[in-house]
A and B are shown apart, each in its own frame.
Chain A
Amino acid sequence: MEATIAVNSEGKTDWDGGGSRPFGASYGKMMMWFFIMSDALTFSGFLAAYGLTRFKFIDSWPIADQVFNHFPFIHGDHPMLFVALMTFILIFSSVTMVLAVDAGHKMKKAQVTWYMLLTIIGGVIFLGSQAWEWKNFINGTYGAVKTTEGKVLQFVKDGHQIALSDFVVGEYGERTTHTRENGLWFEDEATLPTYSLQQVISSYEHNPSVLIRTEEINPETKEKTILSREAGSRYLLKATKVVEGASLIENEYGKTAFADFFFFITGFHGFHVFSGILINIIVFFNVILGTYEKRGHYNMVEKVGLYWHFVDLVWVFVFTFFYLV
């Protein structure tokens, strides 16, 4: 197979029209750095907006450990572990990328090929992990109740949050979801929650071991406030609906803006990983075809490497500000 390959035939340097190489950098590399700068500013804009919103609701922001606590194949409450694993995966794929760049400098085609392949695999695993994280977040774990003011009330037993299914008795029996098939053809509604509000409230009243947790953070303990039984009943009078899982409109974890920022920032980062994988695949095939071997240098691997490390760099900050701080 003969590939069409752009080679400098007239001995031109990468900067067209002259031999100047400002700062000793090739055109592509310098432009990649400037693109990364602007992208870094975009991401910091998002993260700074997240910081502003979090400071605005500093007394009631969701606690990340109570939101992201799943680990594959292990039941129970495991905060932080999965996201730490994702971080290791991304750092490792960064290492294979930099090893590919290093092998490229030494013009070792076989090594570059293998390291590029490992980098792509690492990226795909990371993206899959993120999809799994999103799935858990969107489906929700526990379910909660929303009040007229949009505050979220969660249910706890012995200090630990419990799911609605752990204490609510009965099935949603009042009516079925209105869909286009069984009702007005031009209207439909969101899927009904598993339990009706009345069932949740009466189950709470009949089960003295269940307590209600509000969004408010107690500054002394840095934990969410747990109400007494009586106060809980009073709060439930204000309840308007059952919330399960997360969307852009509401979520069972608390502040709506929390889910919005989570979707937007990790989504934007995930999209970067996705496009990084695509570019890596293109470069990977070019390596196999011998494009860079004929061109005489592996600058392209270095450029895509810069982008890939940048994606890793952003994740380091997302990890800190979404999960740790």
Chain B
Amino acid sequence: MAHAQESHTKRIWLVFIFLCIITTVEVALGLAKPPALYFTQFLGTSLLNWIFIILTLVKAYYIVWAFMHLEGEKKWFRRSIVWTVVFLISYLVTLLLIEGGYLFDTLSPLVKWDY
């Protein structure tokens, strides 16, 4: 049922270019590792890592909205998918990362690095 959808060709190519630019920026930052970002800690990891994570989420948004065409679905269909997934994943990731940090704090004093 193609419910009277007009062509999106132009937008598709724009999104493609946009995704390529973001990926290029990510790779450039990953190769350059600007010290100001790389060595500044913020909320458990470096600023550079936060930039990577945010850029990844921007990419994910454009893939889901434009390519998977979630923007064209009914509002509550969209929400039933996005809210569920976002809630469960943030919950899981938060708990597991806190646990990982705890394991490090507990176990790393027991590891001997100097022979």
Q: Is B34 an interface residue (CB 8 A)?
A: no
8 Å CB interface, A16-31 against B: 22-26, 30
Decide if B49 touches A325 in the complex (CB within 8 Å): yes
Decide if B92 touches A44 in the complex (CB within 8 Å): yes
Decide if B39 touches A316 in the complex (CB within 8 Å): no
Name 10 extra pairs, CB < 8 A, besides A298-B2, A316-B60, A320-B56: A23-B74, A25-B73, A54-B100, A55-B97, A55-B103, A95-B13, A214-B113, A297-B2, A299-B1, A313-B64
Q: Is A180 an interface residue (CB 8 A)?
A: no
Q: Which of A24, A87, A222 contacts B39 (CB 8 A)?
A: A222
Interchain Cβ contacts under 8 Å between A and B, 24 examples: A24-B3, A24-B73, A33-B81, A37-B84, A40-B85, A44-B88, A44-B89, A51-B93, A52-B97, A55-B103, A91-B19, A91-B20, A95-B13, A98-B8, A104-B2, A106-B7, A298-B2, A305-B67, A309-B64, A309-B67, A309-B68, A317-B56, A320-B52, A320-B56
Cβ–Cβ < 8 Å partners of A101 in chain B? 69
Tell me the A residues contacting B by CB distance below 8 Å: 14, 22-26, 30, 33-34, 37, 40-41, 44-45, 48-49, 51-60, 65, 79-81, 84, 87-88, 91-92, 94-95, 97-99, 101-102, 104-107, 149, 214, 216, 222, 225, 231, 234-235, 237-238, 297-299, 305-306, 309-310, 312-313, 316-317, 319-320, 323-325
Cβ–Cβ < 8 Å partners of B108 in chain A? 59
Decide if A52 touches B99 in the complex (CB within 8 Å): yes
Decide if B2 touches A316 in the complex (CB within 8 Å): no
CA distance A57 to B84 in the complex (A): 31
CA distance A234 to B55 in the complex (A): 45
Nearest chain A CB to B81 CB, angstrom units? 6
Decide if A324 touches B30 in the complex (CB within 8 Å): yes
Majority secondary structure, A binding face: helix
Nearest 5 pairs between A and B by C-beta? Answer: A55-B100, A23-B77, A52-B100, A105-B2, A56-B103
8 Å CB interface, B74-101 against A: 74, 76-77, 80-81, 84-85, 88-89, 92-93, 96-97, 99-101
Decide if A94 touches B52 in the complex (CB within 8 Å): no
Asked, given contacts A54-B100, A222-B39, A325-B45, whether A94 binds B67 with beta carbons under 8 Å apart, the answer is yes
Identify the closest chain A residue to B59 (Cβ).
Answer: A316
